[in-house]
Structure 1
Amino acid sequence: MRTLLQAVLSAMLLALCITATTQANERYIVKFKEGKESAVKAALDAQGAKLALDLPKHNAAAFSLPAQALTGLSHNPNVEYVEQDAKRYLMSQTVPYGIPLVQADQVSDSVTANIKVCIIDSGYDLAHEDLSGNRVEGANDSGTGNWFTDENHHGTHVAGTIAALSNDVGVVGINPHGNLNLYIVKVFNADGWGYSSGLIAALDVCEAAGAKVINMSLGGSIKSRTEDAAFAAAETAGILSIAAAGNDGNSRYSYPASYRSVVSVAAVDENKQHADFSQYNSQVELSGPGVGVLSSVPMGTALVAATSVANHDYLAIAMEGAPTGIASGVLIDCGSGEQQCDAAGKVCLLQRGNISFADKVLACEQGGGVAAIIYNNTAGQLNGTLGTTVTAIPAVGVTADDGAAMLLDVGNDATVAIGPGNYAYFDGTSMATPHVAGVAALVWSHFPLCTNKQIRAALQQTAEDLDTAGRDNYTGFGLVQAKAAADYLALNGCTAGGGNNTCKGKHCR
């Protein structure tokens, strides 16, 4: 998994609680001393302040204040205090692009109580606002910590894609109504690695817990005969095992995904294009959304970013390693950032390319810049990291199109903010895998008499063909499709999936 935390605009702005750099004509609430309202209002009017909202019951009012008026208020004996008129945003719920892309929103999860999905990963934040209402149990390997905590963030993100709740906050998962049974086996600590023997033991725990589908957003390049045999036995026992194809961007096989008994999942982006990091080989079977996937992470651990230029809000992604904070200033074009920009008190706009993101941000900071916005030089959002470089200013990435729009507004006011949040965008076949596992559980719940092999075959048969016609090494049979698979089984019965079950239509449910 690429551990790049990105951000949800509204969630970040709601949670952020830090002091903003003062800009002209921002809104402030002024609290008057008893009986001094008229005097203060007259003084502010003379200084060019605009009354935005009167609050007579509270002996206060909101004003749009120029800088000189704000300075004067700090010395006005008739004022009790002045505070920023903080913005408030709707607590809204986002449907990640992957949910409709795999048709999960077209199939009801009302009967998923007959299915259990086992997630072998780094744990599950049981306190998360989008996960705490699920039917969930778990276990953990010795030394990894409690299964209901997640120091690595990975497992909670995976679980959110499968089963984030439809509860008016955050995101929704493939099975969003709390009916699906989850079982968590924590095999990774914060370091994010374990052994093949531990994975075999986790598989045994999943089977003992009654899991029908196993999600493994994990893998390694070395094959294990013992592991291979264990997954083959699990397949014989009726379990559908699903694993990530790998993120090395080459044709190397990754295990357990490349065992015959395991479904290997590749990643595609929101345009259904193969992700450049996704491994490709003869074992790739299905594809799922794996680029810029928005899902849950342990509460308060995400870096959430927001950017505004000339009063226009843009979706931004916090640079991994950037400090939290909020800063405002006039936007200045600093080109590619290869030379120090005279940016004293300003927000640097920088184009991706030639030098590292960290060097660009450092050049901005050394030139006196208060924040950095780096725009992409290719299509799509810019996921960036500062690596081990320590900077003192907030830095974010935006798309090439948004960067072009910002260039037209150079000289106008800009604001960059980074704060804590509960949701993040991750890249990786790790993110694609739960889309397939979630769909498998969703479809299987409607056809419980089908076998694991029949469900697997139905998913292959109905995947949306991508890339080269027919099965290919990059996307397998194609993008997994929930409704197409359900319709296929309803029409043809489980026997069409390769078994001897003769039920069809409603009789197969």
Structure 2
Amino acid sequence: MSITRFKLSTLSTLMLTAMSLPALAQEPVFQGHTEEAKLQSKSKKSASNRYIVRFKETLSGGKNSFNNYIALNYLFTAGAEPLFALNGQQAMVAELDEYSLETLRGFSSVDSIEIDPKRYVLPLAKSANQIVPFAQSTPYGITMVQGHLLPQSNTSARKVCVIDTGYNLGHPDLPYGNVSGVANNNAVGRWNNDGNGHGTHVAGTIAAEDNNQGVVGVYPGVDLHIVKIFDDNGQWTYASNLVNAIQQCKDGGAQVVNMSLGGGNYSSSENTAMQNFVDGGMILVAAAGNGGNSSKSYPASYNSVISVASVTSSESRSSFSQYNDQVELAGPGSSVNSTYPTNTYRSLSGTSMASPHVAGVAALVWSHNSQCNNQQIRAALNATAKDKGAAGRDNYYGHGIVQAKAASDYIAANGCQGGGDPGGVTPVNGSLPNLQGNQNGWTHYTWDIPQGVKEMALTITGGTGDADLYVRYNAQPDANNYTCRPWKNGNEEQ
């Protein structure tokens, strides 16, 4: 049975809620389908009426057999306009008016409904400057993260996916034959064209060739998969499109995903999807944001995602870099030289530039230590990061500036499980027996978590009815706002 993991390092409050759901009398009557359902994108009514509708496992008898036809029948019965399915996530994206929204909320097989928030290309921290290298030069960031100290000739040992504005295929300093890609949707154009430049710059930091010209990347020539999610104008997209983009990365064979993008609104469906991808073995990396404040950007601020802050060439915090308790690692992000369309080079600044340094290091370290899983690679990066700012992890640098060779050496010395004193606190066990609640009612419990706790498990078991477990860090949960919850039917939940 899996254990829910939290990023807990200070005295915190955790709230637990058990809720009973009513069994509704009326549900759609399903008809057999003899041909494949076709989900076509409808014309948008407005941004505010696009929702992510998540269904319970009981809709199909199991997570691995979710049936889009049944989900569609629910949506059609409610008068909704389906847009597409979030494959592997037990969810559909649809346009809902007030009537269809309320109707779906009355179906017991519908687990949650929430607005589909927007996601953006993060704006550059300052204007781009063209550079004209006369020979190959190594950007300062590559040496800062020790990319040059961990050479890897096997470019196919890992594959990195870049979700961004596209890729300048044919750039003389970027991989060509070992690059695949796809457009996230028909509105963004071809993946191998980048009229914006942001995606090509990010890709160069990860993978620019070591070929005696231009620049060089953290993991030169590594296999890439490109998902173009933004058009050439950098037009915003939706969280649901981002979830589909990561699925496209997975389908393309990528193990590491870079997301130099974000938005300010939390989405429980997006959060769950990110965790599912990580549980499936992927490493997800995202930019912390360029607001220069303590606000949180998503997807970077989900526990499953490595949130990357930015530092300058002198290893000090970039003034634009957002800081908060979700920042995990730091990377070079100020005045970073990299590839740019068409067949040129630019110096750009932003956490968008810091994130690919970390993604590249994750892939590079993993390529040398393929016996380790994604979580072990992540732990090694955190354990060996170059500490900056306040001693230990802090909100500005996270664990520190990522270090490729140090992380690989750490694994060589200690194995995938790591080494040293695991620390932590004395385990504490407790129970609340004989819980009771009314149908549709909530019962709240609060625990003060001691400093140093890294993992905890919460379980409900026994009794009759259908109680659901919701947990939220430092705030009271409800059906739409929670840190985590199991996706199970019945009373056996953890």
TM-score range, shorter chain: 0.5 to 0.7
Kindly state the Cα deviation for residue 299 of structure 1 after the two structures are TM-superposed. Answer: 1.6
- Corresponding residue number in structure 2 for 1:438: 360
1:169 aligns to 2:201 (yes or no): no
1:185 aligns to 2:227 (yes or no): yes
Give me the whole-angstrom Cα distance separating, in 1, the residues matched to 2:301 and 2:419: 21
- Corresponding residue number in structure 1 for 2:326: 283
State the TM-score, normalized to the length of structure 2: 0.58
Kindly state the Cα deviation for residue 225 of structure 1 after the two structures are TM-superposed. Answer: 1.1
Kindly state the Cα deviation for residue 168 of structure 1 after the two structures are TM-superposed. Answer: 1.6
User: Does the CA-based 8 Å contact 1:454-1:497 persist in structure 2?
Assistant: no
Kindly state the Cα deviation for residue 497 of structure 1 after the two structures are TM-superposed. Answer: 7.6
Give me the whole-angstrom Cα distance separating, in 2, the residues matched to 1:172 and 1:423: 12
The structure-2 alpha-carbon separation of the partners of 1:447 and 1:112, relative to structure 1 and needing over 3 Å to count, comes to farther
Match of 1:460 among 376, 382, 392: 382
Give me the whole-angstrom Cα distance separating, in 1, the residues matched to 2:419 and 2:372: 8
Match of 2:350 among 428, 442, 460: 428
Match of 1:154 among 195, 198, 206: 198
Kindly state the Cα deviation for residue 482 of structure 1 after the two structures are TM-superposed. Answer: 0.3
| 1:238-253 mapped onto 2 (5 Å cutoff) | 238-253=281-296
Match of 1:234 among 277, 280, 286: 277
Counterpart residue identity of residue 285, structure 2: I
The structure-2 alpha-carbon separation of the partners of 1:132 and 1:437, relative to structure 1 and needing over 3 Å to count, comes to closer
Kindly state the Cα deviation for residue 7 of structure 1 after the two structures are TM-superposed. Answer: 2.8
The structure-2 alpha-carbon separation of the partners of 1:269 and 1:212, relative to structure 1 and needing over 3 Å to count, comes to same
Q: Which has the higher contact order (CA 8 A, sep 6+)?
A: 2
More helix per residue: 1
Name which of structure 1's ranges 472-481 and 106-115 shifts more when overlaid on structure 2.
106-115
1:295 aligns to 2:366 (yes or no): no
1:473 aligns to 2:473 (yes or no): no
- Corresponding residue number in structure 2 for 1:405: none
Kindly state the Cα deviation for residue 423 of structure 1 after the two structures are TM-superposed. Answer: 0.5
Kindly state the Cα deviation for residue 133 of structure 1 after the two structures are TM-superposed. Answer: 3.5
Counterpart residue identity of residue 6, structure 1: N
User: Does the CA-based 8 Å contact 1:99-1:105 persist in structure 2?
Assistant: yes
Give me the whole-angstrom Cα distance separating, in 1, the residues matched to 2:395 and 2:198: 26
The structure-2 alpha-carbon separation of the partners of 1:243 and 1:126, relative to structure 1 and needing over 3 Å to count, comes to same
The structure-2 alpha-carbon separation of the partners of 1:279 and 1:134, relative to structure 1 and needing over 3 Å to count, comes to farther
Kindly state the Cα deviation for residue 191 of structure 1 after the two structures are TM-superposed. Answer: 2.5
- Corresponding residue number in structure 2 for 1:106: 149
What secondary structure is seen at the aligned counterpart in 1 of 2:237? coil
- Corresponding residue number in structure 2 for 1:450: 372
Bigger radius of gyration among the two: 1
| 1:72-221 mapped onto 2 (5 Å cutoff) | 91-133=134-176, 135-141=178-184, 142-176=186-220, 178=221, 180-192=222-234, 193-221=236-264
Give me the whole-angstrom Cα distance separating, in 2, the residues matched to 1:444 and 1:98: 19
What secondary structure is seen at the aligned counterpart in 2 of 1:157? helix
User: Does the CA-based 8 Å contact 2:287-2:355 persist in structure 1?
Assistant: yes
Give me the whole-angstrom Cα distance separating, in 2, the residues matched to 1:166 and 1:203: 28
Give me the whole-angstrom Cα distance separating, in 1, the residues matched to 2:418 and 2:155: 22
User: Does the CA-based 8 Å contact 2:180-2:252 persist in structure 1?
Assistant: no
Give me the whole-angstrom Cα distance separating, in 2, the residues matched to 1:492 and 1:132: 34
User: Does the CA-based 8 Å contact 2:170-2:176 persist in structure 1?
Assistant: no
Counterpart residue identity of residue 206, structure 1: C
Give me the whole-angstrom Cα distance separating, in 1, the residues matched to 2:175 and 2:295: 38
What secondary structure is seen at the aligned counterpart in 2 of 1:138? strand
User: Does the CA-based 8 Å contact 1:165-1:173 persist in structure 2?
Assistant: yes
Gaps (5+ residues) in structure 1? 12-90, 301-421, 499-509
What secondary structure is seen at the aligned counterpart in 2 of 1:117? strand
1:4 aligns to 2:47 (yes or no): no
User: Does the CA-based 8 Å contact 1:458-1:497 persist in structure 2?
Assistant: no
- Corresponding residue number in structure 1 for 2:406: 484
Give me the whole-angstrom Cα distance separating, in 1, the residues matched to 2:323 and 2:155: 32
Identity among equivalent pairs (%)? 53
Counterpart residue identity of residue 195, structure 2: E
Give me the whole-angstrom Cα distance separating, in 2, the residues matched to 1:184 and 1:482: 23
Kindly state the Cα deviation for residue 122 of structure 1 after the two structures are TM-superposed. Answer: 0.5
What secondary structure is seen at the aligned counterpart in 2 of 1:295? strand
Give me the whole-angstrom Cα distance separating, in 2, the residues matched to 1:291 and 1:181: 26
Counterpart residue identity of residue 151, structure 1: G
Give me the whole-angstrom Cα distance separating, in 2, the residues matched to 1:149 and 1:117: 18
User: Does the CA-based 8 Å contact 2:175-2:208 persist in structure 1?
Assistant: no
Aligned residues: 295
Counterpart residue identity of residue 189, structure 1: D
What secondary structure is seen at the aligned counterpart in 2 of 1:461? helix
State the TM-score, normalized to the length of structure 1: 0.57
User: Does the CA-based 8 Å contact 1:133-1:165 persist in structure 2?
Assistant: no
What secondary structure is seen at the aligned counterpart in 1 of 2:143? helix
Counterpart residue identity of residue 225, structure 2: Y
What secondary structure is seen at the aligned counterpart in 1 of 2:249? helix
User: Does the CA-based 8 Å contact 1:453-1:497 persist in structure 2?
Assistant: no
Counterpart residue identity of residue 7, structure 1: Q
What secondary structure is seen at the aligned counterpart in 2 of 1:113? coil
Kindly state the Cα deviation for residue 152 of structure 1 after the two structures are TM-superposed. Answer: 1.1
Q: 1:3-46 deviations in whole A, cap 9, x for unaligned?
A: 622132x44xxxxxxxxxxxxxxxxxxxxxxxxxxxxxxxxxxx
Kindly state the Cα deviation for residue 495 of structure 1 after the two structures are TM-superposed. Answer: 1.1
Kindly state the Cα deviation for residue 134 of structure 1 after the two structures are TM-superposed. Answer: 5.3
CA RMSD of aligned residues (A): 1.4
